[in-house]
Amino acid sequence: MSTTENTPETQAGICPLTRRRFMKGLLAAGVLANLPCGLLRPTRTEAGEIVYAGDYEIFRNACPRNCYDTCSIKTYVKDGVVQFIEGATESTFTRGGLCVKGYGYTRRPYSPDRIKYPMVQEGRGTGNWRRVSWDEAMDRIAKKILQIQEKDGNLLGLALSKYSGNFGITNYGIEGMMSSLGYTTRLTGTPCWPAGIDAQNFDMGDMWCNDPEDMVHARYVILWGGNAAWNSVHSVKYVYEAKRRGAKIVVIDPIMTQMAAKADEYWQIRTSTDGALALGMARHILDNKLYDRDWVMANSVGFEEFASYLRENVTVEWAAKESGVPATNIIEMAEEFATAKPATIWIGYGLQRHVNGGAAVRAIDALVAMTGNVGKVGGGARYGHLRTWGFNYHALLQKQPEGAKGVPGKAEVKGDFHFAGGNDAAAVSYSDRILNINKTAQVILDANDPPIRMLWVACKNPFSQDFDRNKMVKAFEKLEMVVTVDQFFNETVNMSDIVLPVTTLFEEWTINASYWHYWLSINERAIQPMYETKSDIQIAATLSKKMNALKPGSCTFPTEIDSKEWMTKEFNQGIYDLFGIKSWEDLKKGPAKAKMPSAAWHDLKFGTPSGKYEFKSELAAEWGNKALPEYVAPREKTDKYRVLTPHTKFGLHSQFINLDWSEEFNPKPFVYVHPQLAAEKNIKDGDTVRVFNSIGEVKTTAKLSTVVPSDAILMYEAWFRNNPYNVQNVVDDTSSDMGAYKTGQPGVAIHDQFADLAKV
C-alpha cells in the first residue's frame, strides 16, 4: 500500500476513510458476519486499497482494425481498469504515438452504450429487446441451425458475413466455427482492395510493398489516390523525412486531401483516369529513352509489346485531355520521376475502386518498373503485402462434422486473407457455397437452392459498409434469422433477431500483423471482459457446446477453449525465424519487426509464371483482362454528378465515429459541394440537401468546399450513432475490373457512382 498526493479523496471527494482502521472496528464488533446486503460480499484480499498514481500493470495490445498502421499499443491498467494507452515506443513505425482514433480506444470498453448481454429482439427493427442468457441465445441459434440441416439436408442456408472489423488472427475462428458446423454459404472477396491485388499479382506475382520506413530513401514520391495524412498518419513521417532529404512529394487525387495540402505538388486528376495519366507519363519516358533499359531487359517480359501499345495508342496530349493534368506538367513529372533514383509511387486503395481500377494499378506498376524502381530500397510500387501473415490459422482450420453435405465438388475459398488452403484436398467431396461479399444484398435475394435462411454477422456492419443499402433491406426481409456479434448498436444490430456482445481488444488474446509495415504485435488480455462479453472464438466454443448437447457430433469446434492458448497455437517456427524471436513470449517485451530486406522483390525473382516482371500478362488475359496494362475507359455516367465516398478523418469505415471523442470533432455528417456547383443548384453553406439517384438518397447538410472537384459530390463514408446518414444509399454494387483471381471476387466500383443534388 502506498499513498500519493493524488488521493482518492481529492479525486472524487467522497471517501475519506482508510480501510484498515475502519475494518478493525467492524471486525471487533462482529458486524460483518450478518450483513443484510444480497449482492456485495466480503473482500477476499487484505490489500484492497486503491492507489491512484504509478504502479500500473502494462499490457501489450495492437489496433486490430483495417488500417495500414496496425499500431502497437501499450495499455496501462490499474485495479483491473484500463487507465490510458499509448503507442509502443519499441516499434519504430508506431514510435510511441497513436492516431486520433486510436487514442479513443479507452472509450470502447467503458462506454455505457456498449452492447453488454446477449439479447433477442421481438420483431426486427422494433427495438423490443429481451435480455437472455448465453445458454438461451445459443439454444435458439443451435436449434435454428439444426432445423436448417433437417430441412435442406445441408447447411448452405447458413451464411457468414464477416470482414475487417477485427483482423486478429484468432478472429478467423469465426470462419472456423462455420466450417465446424458443416458446409455453409460464405460471402467472400473484399470490398477494399481486390482490383489492385490482382493487378500486382499479374505484374509481379504477388502484392508486396517495400517497408514504408525505407521511403526516407526515395528521391521522388508520388502518393497516388490515397490520403495518408488521414489514413496512415504514421507513414507521413517517412514522407516528410524523404522531403527533408531532398525528395519531391507529389500527390495525385481527385480530392485536394490533407495529404495533397502537405505535398510539393498536387494534381487534381479527373476521377478514374489515373491509367491515362500513368500511360501518358510512360509514353514520354519511352520516347525520351528515360526508361531503365538494362533493368527492363534483364527483369521483365513483354516490354516491347507494351512500348508498341504506348506508341500506337497513347500520347501525352491524349493523357492530358483524359486526366485534366496539363501536358507540360505530365512531361515534367515524367522526367522528374524517371530521373530521380530511387523514385516510388504509393498506390492508394481509392484509385482502384473503379471499373478500370485494376488496369490503372497495372499502368502505374509499369511506370515504376520501366524506370527500374522495382526491387530498390526507397523505390517500389507500394500497395500492400501479406508477407508477415504466415500463421498456422489454427482457429480458422476446422473440420466439417462427419457426413456434412454441401456443394458437390471442391471449390477453393479465396480471399485477401485466406492463406491456408482449407480442407485436406483428398477428403473433400463437398464445398461451401461461395458468393460475392460485394453483392451481399443481391446474392441473398438470388440464392434459392437452398435460400439463405440464416445470416451470422461478425466483424462487420453490412448496413453501413455493403453496397446498395435499400436492396439490403429487402435482402434481410428474406432471412429467417440474423445473428449479429458486435460492440455497439447499429443499423445491422437493429435489423437482427439476436445480438451477441463481443470483447474489445483489451479483453481478448490475439495476434496482429500489418498489410503495410513489417511489425508484429501480440494482443494481451489486459482486463477481464466487461459484462457478459465473449471473444469470437469463445462464442464459437459456446455454440459448439450447445450444438453437441442438442445433437452430439453436430459441431466439431472445441467446446472449451483457452483463448491465450489458442493465440499461442497460431505461431510456428517460420514466424519465429522471420521475426527473430524464440517464442511468442518475446513479444510481451514489445513488437518485433520481420527480418526482411526493406525492398520488395529485392532479389528480382518475381512470382509470375515467367519469374519476371510481366508488362504482358497472359494470366491477366485468362482472367478476362487485357494482357497489357492498357487503358480501360471509366464507367459511363449514370447520373449528373460523380459521388465520392472516401474515408473520413475521425473514423475507419463504420468504426470510431460513434465514440464520444470523435463526436466532439465530427458531430454530424456533411455533403461537400464545390461553390460553383452549389451556385448552379442555388445551395448555400448549411442548407439541407438531398443527394439522390435511382437506388436511393442521402439527406444532410451541405458544406461548400473547393477541395472537391466541381462536378462531384463528396460524402465521407461513416456510421453515426445518432444519424441515419448512410452513403450506401447511393452507392450501387457495380464490380470493379479485377479481384476475382486472388480474392475470389471482383471488387466494387465504389468511386464510380453518380447522383443528382437538390436543395430540400
Partner 1 sequence: MNDIEAIRDFFLAGDAGKLKRSYQQLSGSFEATPPVVEDWQEVEFAFNRLFVGPAALEAPPFSSVYLDAQGLVMGQTTMAVRQMYAALGLESPWKNSLPDDHISLELDAALAMNHVLKKLGHSEIQELHARFMNHMTRWVPLFADRVLTAPSRHPAINHVVLCLSDWLDKQTCGLKNYQSAREEKV
Does the protein bind partner 1 through residue 41 (CB under 8 A)? yes
Nearest to 176 by CA among 544, 572, 498: 544
Name the burial class of residue 14, with classes exposed (0-12), middle (13-18) and buried (19+) by CB atoms within 10 angstroms of its CB: exposed
Q: Is 49 in the site for partner 1 (CB under 8 A)?
A: yes
HEC per residue, 605-642:
CCCCCCCCEECCCHHHHHCCCCCCCCCCCCCCCCCCEE
Site string for partner 1, 409-438 (x = CB under 8 A): ------------------------------
Most distant pair of Cα atoms in the chain: their distance: 100
Closer CB to partner 1, 13 or 409, in the complex: 13
Question: Interface with partner 1 by CB under 8 A: which range of 25-33, 432-440, 545-553, 581-589?
Answer: 25-33
Single out the residue of 3, 128, 308, 723 in contact with partner 1 (rule: CB under 8 A).
Answer: 128
What is the sign, positive or negative, of the torsion defined by CA atoms of 665, 666, 667, 671? positive
Q: What is the DSSP string of 171-223?
A: GGHHHHHHHHH-S-EEEES-SSSHHHHHHHHHHHSS--PPPGGGGGG-SEEEE
What CA–CA distance (Å, rounded) separates 269 from 260? 12
Give least dist CB 481 to partner 1, A.
17
What distance in Å separates the CA atoms of residue 500 and residue 525, rounded to the nearest whole number?
20
The three-point CA angle 233-238-239 to 5° equals 85
Matching residue, cell 486503491: 50
2 binds partner 1 (CB under 8 A): no
Cβ distance to partner 1 smaller for residue 112 or 246: 112
Stretch of 114-122, 436-444, 673-681, 695-703 lying at the interface with partner 1 (CB under 8 A): 114-122
CB of 21 to partner 1, least distance (A): 8
| Minimum separation from the CB atom of position 696 to partner 1 (A) | 24
Please state, in angstroms and rounded to a whole number, the distance separating the CA atoms of residues 737 and 618.
Answer: 16
Residues of span 719-758 touching partner 1 by CB under 8 A: 721-722
Q: Which of 1, 22, 293, 685 binds partner 1 (CB under 8 A)?
A: 22
Q: Please work out the total of residues on this chain that contact partner 1, with binding judged by CB under 8 A.
A: 71
Site string for partner 1, 164-183 (x = CB under 8 A): --------------------
Of 46-54, 471-479, 542-550, 747-755, the window that binds partner 1 (rule: CB under 8 A) is 46-54
| Gap between the Cα atoms of 453 and 461, Å rounded | 19
35 binds partner 1 (CB under 8 A): yes
Interaction between residue 117 and partner 1 (CB under 8 A): yes
Q: Given the DSSP bridges, would you call strands 185-188 and 158-162 parallel, antiparallel or unpaired?
A: parallel
Quote the least distance from Cβ 20 to partner 1, whole Å: 9
Grid cell of 159 as nine digits: 451464411
| Of residues 84 and 311, the one with the C-beta less far from partner 1 | 84
**For 685-720, b where at least 16 C-beta lie within 10 A, e where not — what string?**
eebebebbbebbebebebbbbebbbeebbbbbbbbb
By the rule CB under 8 A, 680 interacts with partner 1: no
660 is a contact residue toward partner 1 (CB under 8 A): yes
Specify the residue, 682 or 722, whose C-beta has the smaller distance to partner 1: 722
For position 29 contacting partner 1 by CB under 8 A, the verdict is yes
As measured in angstroms, the least distance from the Cβ of 61 to partner 1 is: 17
Beta strands in 515-673 (DSSP E): 519-523, 592-593, 613-614, 641-644, 670-673
Strands 300-301 and 265-267, sheet pairing:
unpaired
Cis link prior to 462 (omega < 30° from 0)?
no
Cβ distance to partner 1 smaller for residue 114 or 751: 114
By CB under 8 A, the residues from 506 to 545 that bind partner 1 are: 527-532
Question: Which of helix, strand or coil describes residue 519?
Answer: strand
Choose the binding region for partner 1 from 119-127, 360-368, 435-443, 649-657 (rule: CB under 8 A): 119-127
C-beta closer to partner 1: residue 264 or 531:
531
Taking phi first (over 0 means left), then psi (-120 to 50 degrees means alpha), and beta for anything else, what does residue 624 get? left
CB 489 → partner 1: shortest distance, Å? 4
Task: Supply the minimum distance, in Å, between the C-beta of residue 604 and partner 1.
Answer: 53
Among candidates 501, 554, 560, which has minimal Cα distance to 145? 554
Q: Which of 116, 341, 405, 626 binds partner 1 (CB under 8 A)?
A: 116
User: For residues 67-96, which are near partner 1 according to CB under 8 A?
Assistant: 79-82
Q: Which of residues 485-504 bind partner 1 (CB under 8 A)?
A: 489, 493-494, 499, 501
CA 99/CA 97 separation, integer angstroms: 7
Q: 192 to 211, contacts with partner 1 by CB under 8 A?
A: none
The reply to whether 115 sits near partner 1 by the rule CB under 8 A is yes
Query: Is residue 588 involved in binding partner 1 (CB under 8 A)?
Result: no
Q: How far is the CB of 492 from partner 1 (least distance, A)?
A: 11
Rounded to a whole number of angstroms, the minimum distance from the CB of residue 24 to partner 1 is 10
**Three cell numbers written together for 530:** 466487461
By CB under 8 A, tell whether 37 contacts partner 1: yes
